[in-house]
Structure formats: C-alpha cells, structure tokens
Amino acid sequence: MQISARGDYAVRAALSLATAYPALLSTQAIAAEQDMPRKFLEAVLADLRRAGIVRAQRGAEGGYTLARPPREITIGAILRAVDGPLAGVRGLRPEETRYEGAAENLPRLWVAVRAAVRQVVDEVSLAEMASGKLPSHVRKLIARPDAWEPR
C-alpha cells in the first residue's frame, strides 16, 4: 500500500485536531505543528470537511475541529476522504478485476490485500492513534520480527 502525501498530511492534521478536540485549531497552527505547507493543508482540510470529518468555523476565533469525537473517526475514513478507495488495481476496485487463464484467481488475492489493509486502518481510531494505545491485533503486527524490515 502506498500512502500519498495527501493521505499522510490528512492523518497528521486530524491527529492534531484530535489532541485539541473539541477546541478549534487554525490552519496556521496545524501547519506549524506538523511542518507542512499551509496551502496544501487547506486543500486537505477542505476534503475532510466535505467528507464530514472536520468542520470549519469562520472568524477571528475560527479554525477547524473534528466533526465527531476522535474515538469515532478511523484512519481509514480519513484516507478515503482524501484519496478515495484504499485498494485499487489499475483504477478498479479489487472485486471488479477479471483475469483469464493462470491469473484467474488473482482477484481473490487483491480482495484479501484490501481486507488486510482495512483490518488495520478501519480499526484504529484517531483517539487510539493519538494516545498510542493501538488495538492488540495491530500491536501484534508491529511486534513481528520482520515488520520493520524493508523489502
């Protein structure tokens, strides 16, 4: 799985908002805390607002806050809001792929890959991520001897 810059920035911004929840944060404050370009952050926050993940308040005391408590927002929801579906194969959803011959069973593998990704990003909330208290099945994955090795 490849996490785009947009997805990375969206999750980082949402984590900043989660730690401040329910207070408002300005784009300037988030950009400074997370060391990201403000204009790009504004575009990412607009995507999150359209998806109902954050809400904006205008004015001198304005800024952004999460639309729901951090425990109700998953990392997967944030990634989908800015990048679309989590797993794609040549622009198709895994279950939409069709192959002939030796590759005929490949769609099942692509669906399994998506399910594995979902098992992590759809089961970790902003609250868990911000506190570092990840679900046990995610902690087990992190603790695997090969988890941190590049391949």
Nearest Cα to Cα of residue 115 among 133, 93, 91, 97: 93
Radius of gyration of the chain (CA): 18
Cα 102 from Cα 113, distance rounded (Å): 19
Burial class (CB within 10 angstroms; exposed 0-12, middle 13-18, buried 19+) of 18: buried
Domains of the chain in start order, with CATH, are: 5-143 (1.10.10.10)
Banded pLDDT at 88 (limits 50, 70, 90) = confident
Q: What is the C-alpha to C-alpha distance for residues 84 and 46, in angstroms, rounded to an integer?
A: 14
Task: Encode pLDDT of 48-85 as tens digits.
Answer: 999 999 999 998 888 999 999 999 999 999 999 999 98
Measured distance CA(68)–CA(53) in Å, rounded = 7
Copy the structure tokens of residue 60. Answer: 């001198």
Q: Which amino acid is at 2?
A: Q
pLDDT (tens digit per residue) in 90-104: 888 889 999 999 999
pLDDT attached to residue 60: 81
Distance CA 70, CA 10 (A): 14
